[in-house]
Structure 1
Amino acid sequence: MKLETSHMLPNGTLARRTLLAAAPALALAAPVRAQAAWPNRSIRLVVPFSAGGAADSAARVITPHMGQRLGQNFVVENRTGASGSLGAAEIARATDGHSFLWDASSHLVNPSLLRGLTFDYATAFTPISLVVAFPSAIAVKRDFAANTLAEFVAAAKARPGAISVGTQGNATAGHLGLVAFARRAGIEVIHVPYRGGAAAAQDLASGAIDAVFTTLVSAGPVVDAGRARFLAVGTAERVESRPDVPTIAESGYAGFESNEWAGLFGPAGTPPAVVNALSDALVEAVAVPAIRQRLVQIGCVPLATRPADFARFVTEGRATMAALVRDANIRAE
């Protein structure tokens, strides 16, 4: 061994024995030192959305197991406001090495919509993992005269600008998905933004609006209550929790995909060892059958991608959203 050679005495005997005797102690001490380096206290996870929402719920399902793996608890902190940018700003300026961001599609859209940000989304964060996807869905009120997506499109073309479609808010994943679908289908509808998908679903159930383009988790309860029905989901493949609902792609719009998601970010400059430790903990967590089952139950598609894949997703997604916001002339509220 090089270590032995560099410490050999002239007769080459004593140093070798000393090092061999010390080797077991060194081997045992190394993991202790690594663990002491990071994490050495609770891990702060900022969720820039309301408690009880889809992203927040997924975080609270996954992080307890991650904490067990890493040896420290996760403390979930909801910091809402300004389309998620207030919570993002908290992590952009964090320097304690134990603060991270659990963000969603607003991470890709905000740079094209918001002015006066104190940080640059493109450089202020280290992508760690695309953790889960929240399938989007098109649902219509109970008495709407369409049972398929093709019939919905036909109705919209017969009455341009007359059909109202709610989303979880202006410039949200639902709004952008609706814009992209309407452009692809060649239809004109009335966009009705709400403060959250649950509020949109409630108005769908009451008949105040004709349809929604929001997440499965938001629209699911009113569909299950028989007050609305799903026409299609925005995932590439059918969703495990709703296997009877076709995808938008298989309904005549090949390649179409539009969903909300949640991903884990660190501040810029997060050490690779920390990134890998968090990524490994996430991969392990979503593979636990009970955790995976719970995520599916609340409307998630577990992913837990690796850092390099998530970094590409973020870069490509930001460019796509910038073009869509520009071409559709979308403005922040």
Structure 2
Amino acid sequence: MTRSSRSQPLRPSLAGATGSAAAAFLALGVLASAMPAVALAAEAAYPAQPIKLIVPFPPGGGTDIVSRLILDKVREDTGWTFVADNKAGAGGNIGLDAVAKSKADGYTLGMGQTANLAINPTLYPRMPYDAAKAFTPVALVAGQPVVLVVTAASPYKTLSELVAAARAKPGTLTMASAGNGTVGHLTGELFSRQAGIRVTHIPYKGAGPAATDLLGGQVDYYFATPQTVVSFLKAGRLRALAVSSATRLPVLPDVPTVAESGYKGFDTSDWKMIVAPAGTPAAVINRMNAQVQKALSKAAMIGQLQSEGSVPMAGTPQQAAQFLAREQQRWGEVVRAANVKVD
């Protein structure tokens, strides 16, 4: 057996390969160099087919309305074809699970929101997807704060008066919500912590029953969506003490924010965010984001969102991802601190 005096590192050599091996090696090199070009061409042609947006709530609700508004505006600007697909159930989890399991090519997107992206991961003992890993944020669309309302006959004219009453008799004031783990419920829990009060939470199965009992004097106050209560406010049957957003709502310009009322930094909303399956190409994400931002900058779109109590949101996909991480941490802490259990 011969032995080399010095070992040499092995190097691939076409000259020493058989003809078939050399051909295979060359073919692999050509394929590898061609793949990025093919991917870039596909992304440049996006979209080449209809885009499906899965809306994880029933038709006619707030998430559905905002989803169709943004799709209509992007369609007007681009001529792209969209299909809104309502897949409701399990607090929005069923629809987003369908998004998570879809091909990451930009042709299936989802309208995520505070519940199914930031609250449910802690609220539900088992989730069908990992909200922190299963999606790539595309764009923030809008946020809808909640409004703290009491009846017109209530003795509480301001937020300070309500807090004073709650402190004087801990646990006696009752707070309605549209259900355990809703944004209204958790906003109420967050406010109670910040205000240092203890109240009794009364969960209902939906916004309608909660509003009915508030109007009937069965509960003391309710953190409600603007759509639920604006008509009652205009009719003089309810009184709004504060809104949960950082700034006042155009639809309720005379109602102060919770922050204005002495609780610095208080800011919550039921936000809407378009997401794609994790792994969707960045070029596709950025293209869709640009069109969503363009739509949100239009006066007509801003007016439509504001009329239903929402505030347009904006930003890059990276900013949306950072926002989502903060919201997941915040709402997870609220759920755990309040020991909230799903119905």
Q: Name the TM-score, length of structure 1 as normaliser.
A: 0.86
Equivalent residue pairs, number: 301
Shift of 1:37: 2.8
Instruction: Find the aligned partners of 2:56 and 2:176 in 1 and give their Cα distance.
Output: 22
Q: Which runs of 5+ in 2 are unaligned?
A: 1-40
Counterparts in 2 of 1:244 and 1:141: CA distance versus 1, 3 Å = same
Q: Name which of 41, 46, 53 aligns with 1:38.
A: 46
Instruction: Find the aligned partners of 1:40 and 1:195 in 2 and give their Cα distance.
Output: 42
Matched position secondary structure for 1:150: helix
The reply to whether residue 228 of structure 1 matches residue 238 of structure 2 is yes
Q: Which runs of 5+ in 1 are unaligned?
A: 1-32
Equivalent residues in 2 for 1:6-25, closer than 5 Å: none
The reply to whether residue 69 of structure 1 matches residue 77 of structure 2 is yes
Equivalent residues in 2 for 1:210-225, closer than 5 Å: 210-225=220-235
Q: Name which of 294, 311, 328 aligns with 1:301.
A: 311
Instruction: Find the aligned partners of 1:75 and 1:34 in 2 and give their Cα distance.
Output: 21
Instruction: Find the aligned partners of 1:53 and 1:189 in 2 and give their Cα distance.
Output: 29
> 1:115-170: CA deviations, max 9, x gaps?
33232111100011111010211100121101100011112223322222112221
Q: Report the AA paired with residue 60 of structure 1.
A: R
Identity, in percent, stands at 39
Shift of 1:88: 0.8
Name the Cα RMSD after superposition.
1.7
Alignment correspondent of 1:103: 112
Q: Report the AA paired with residue 283 of structure 1.
A: Q
Shift of 1:195: 3.1
Alignment correspondent of 1:27: none
Alignment correspondent of 2:12: none
Alignment correspondent of 1:287: 297
CA contact (8 A) 1:215 1:259 kept: no
> 1:75-108: CA deviations, max 9, x gaps?
2222111111111100000116311110111111
CA contact (8 A) 1:39 1:70 kept: no
Shift of 1:280: 0.9
Shift of 1:36: 7.3
Q: Report the AA paired with residue 63 of structure 1.
A: L
Instruction: Find the aligned partners of 1:208 and 1:36 in 2 and give their Cα distance.
Output: 58
Equivalent residues in 2 for 1:186-205, closer than 5 Å: 186-205=196-215
Matched position secondary structure for 1:251: coil
Instruction: Find the aligned partners of 2:315 and 2:44 in 1 and give their Cα distance.
Output: 27
Shift of 1:194: 2.5
Counterparts in 2 of 1:121 and 1:57: CA distance versus 1, 3 Å = same
Instruction: Find the aligned partners of 1:198 and 1:63 in 2 and give their Cα distance.
Output: 28
Alignment correspondent of 1:84: 92
Matched position secondary structure for 2:153: coil
> 1:31-77: CA deviations, max 9, x gaps?
xx668731122211111122222221111112112123343222222
Of residues 304-313 and 36-45 in structure 1, the stretch that sits farther from structure 2 once superposed is 36-45
**Higher Rg of the two aligned structures:** 2
Matched position secondary structure for 1:255: coil
Matched position secondary structure for 2:73: helix
